[in-house]
Amino acid sequence: MKQSRKRLLALVFAVCLALTLTPTVALAALLPFNVDISPPGSGTVSADIDGAPLASFEAEEDETVTLTAMPDSDHRFVEWEDMGGLLDNATAPVTAFTMPGPTVPSAPSFTAVFEPILTHDIIVEDDGFGTGVASVDGVVVTAAEEDETVTLTATPNPGYRFLLWEDLEQMGLVDPTNSVTTFTVPRGARPSGIYLKATFEPAPPPSGGQIETVTIRFDGNGATGGVMPPAETDLYVSFTLPTNAFAREGYDFIGWNTRHTGEGTFYPDRHFLSSAEYDMTLYAQWSPVRDEYLLTIRYHANGGAGFMPDESAAYGSLHTLSANLFALEGYAFVGWSTQPDGEGFAFADQEEIYLSQQDLDLYAQWAPTSARGQQETPTDSAGRQTGGAGLGSAPAGQAGAGPGSAPAGQADAAPGSAPAGQAGADPDLYGLGDQGIGRGNLPPTGDFDAEAAVDASVWVWVAVFPCLAIIAACAGLVVGLRRGKP
């Protein structure tokens, strides 16, 4: 009998313990945390616990959460912004934090910050006595990304040797004395690119001999007539270039250059060389002969009757428009416009205008006359007032907005803002796409929900009170059994 009571007491205790622990385990709360990306669309983020990816940005108290920032191919990771100072390492793309309890005033918030990887132009020039090139991993390039290693190689022409690299932007990137050198493309915006120039000098004569003469050759470089034989002079002796004998139809001769593109050293006609030190080829340089450029003004009746001949006037000149010769029954002529519907630039009859850029088509503008024969206010098909605009003014019926301003009736939108009537929100703000990260495919965006925490505590007490009642009943049963002991 005594043994049976002990077994019964053990069974009652086990049942009470199970009933007490079961609701406590089941009610372990998931707490939210926020993860953002800056700027939006520059990369992605993920979270996991012990290598298991999280379906939403939530974790239990004291759990260790690992965050991973993954930049897009044209961006790089910079840092984590950690408002609560919870991260182990805010400068590492992969880091971790321990989830705090619900007593914190707001949910933990982290932002993965990325920045774009910029590409800079690499411009390598030379002085005409050799060549200079830039390469990355053996491939010649004209642009390179930040942090890439660029190799510069200078190759002199026969009879020359490398002198130095000129750093035209004075950035101090290269060793100027080595014909083959490297540099790392620096970070930061450089709209003008990176400019370097390879320069050369005449090589000294070989030992045991000396070049006696220097030959200067002349290239017509597109000339349509004329011949110039090479000129020779003694080494290191002054020399005057001969008068140009080439001619090119439609062009004027402007001088010589050591490169046919005009990018080398320029010499005017009959230039005096103080010392002829090396052989060279000079290329003729040409400039187009510009005739007076005439523009055409065409008049259009735009529904009216009559004829007005086209006119010609010189580019860049002031010109007075002809008096209108068109007529339209029931309408009065109110001026000209560059568009038939009056939406272009408007000009008055016989207005003096400045001609530039292109030919001009002018369309007569008409306003209906009233029953009493008076002219009505001219309007276009949309009911907007037209006419009376001067040179360079806004289209008829619109205020003279400055360049780039919004159409009439609309406020100027800030650069990059959303179209009218649309919110400027980015639908892929978190850069998570369709990966399903976050409940409802979006991570929590608000602060810690205090009301939800209160609701959870109520449910905890609802579960605890029955457990306490069960424990009390079990204790009473145990006492009763012990008192009933014979």
Reported as a single tens digit per residue, the pLDDT across 185-204 is: 888 756 678 888 999 888 76
pLDDT at residue 17, as a whole number: 58
Vertex 450: Cα angle to 444 and 456 (nearest 5):
95
Q: Which two tokens stand for residue 7?
A: 């077994």
Vertex 211: Cα angle to 209 and 216 (nearest 5):
170
Give the chain's mean pLDDT. 76
Lowest mean pLDDT among 68-72, 145-149, 227-231: 145-149
CA 253/CA 289 separation, integer angstroms: 10
Q: If DSSP codes are grouped into helix, strand and coil, which group holds residue 243?
A: coil
Lowest mean pLDDT among 73-87, 215-229, 372-386: 372-386
Return the top range by mean pLDDT from 91-95, 128-132, 179-183, 352-356: 91-95
Vertex 312: Cα angle to 309 and 313 (nearest 5):
145
Q: Give the largest Cα separation in the chain, rounded.
A: 142
Q: What is the pTM of this model?
A: 0.35
**For residue 390, pLDDT beyond 90:** no
Alpha-carbon dihedral 300, 306, 310, 315, rounded to 10 degrees: -60
Decide: 75 and 114 in contact? Cβ < 8 Å: yes
- Could you read off the pLDDT of 32-84 as tens digits, one per residue? 999 999 999 999 999 999 989 998 899 998 999 999 999 998 898 999 999 88
